Amino acid sequence: MRPHLLALLAKEPAHGYELKQALEQTFGSAYPSPNIGQIYVTLGRLEKDGLVRAVDVEQSNRPNKKVYYLTAKGRDSLVAWVEEPTEGPRVRDEFFMKLVLAPLTGIADRMALISRQRRHYLSLMADLNDLLSRTDPRDRVAGLLIEGAMLHLQADLDWLERCQEDLA
């Protein structure tokens, strides 16, 4: 979550609760709702590393709030995060391990494993379909994430078919 908070603070200084709201607004229903405690812990670490600094702002009738802003070092760290290449999805697929190892065990045959897995993927896809139809079409961030998940799942199914052709 560190670079996400840095990015939000690059736009404007904010206190912890504002950052939680900003994450929720930006990612809509797609983002696991951030825990406020986790945000404060992360901010504390960023502050210790010199990437953000906090100022106390007085509030009437309430305790002071800490407003965080980005330091020059924090901006450098954010730029580095944006510019470094992002890893592609890794194919370290648990099912593939089962598929390759299963015949050695004598517990299940590959054809049965592949068939079961195909139905499981389709049931996941049915979930995503439901989800997409229930997602507000104006929530483009959530819509695109769901579509991304669907495309990955389609690729998994195509790969399953290749495994079936070559291994089963």
> How big is the site for another protein, counted in residues (CB under 8 A)?
39
102 binds another protein (CB under 8 A): no
* 116 contributes a contact to another protein by CB under 8 A: yes
Say which amino acid occupies 104. L
Choose one: 37-45, 67-75, 86-94, 119-127; the region binding another protein (CB under 8 A).
Answer: 119-127
Q: Is there a contact between 157 and 114 (Cβ–Cβ < 8 Å)?
A: no
Cα diameter, the chain: 72
Q: Are 26 and 141 in contact (CB under 8 A)?
A: yes
> Collapsing DSSP states into helix, strand and coil, what is residue 42?
helix
Exactly one of 27, 69, 95, 159 binds another protein (CB under 8 A); which one? 27
CB of 159 to another protein, least distance (A): 12
Pick the closest to residue 148 from 131, 163, 165, 168 (CA basis): 131
Binding site for another protein (CB under 8 A): 27-33, 111-112, 115-116, 118-123, 125-131, 135, 142, 145-147, 149-150, 153-154, 157-158, 161, 164-165, 168
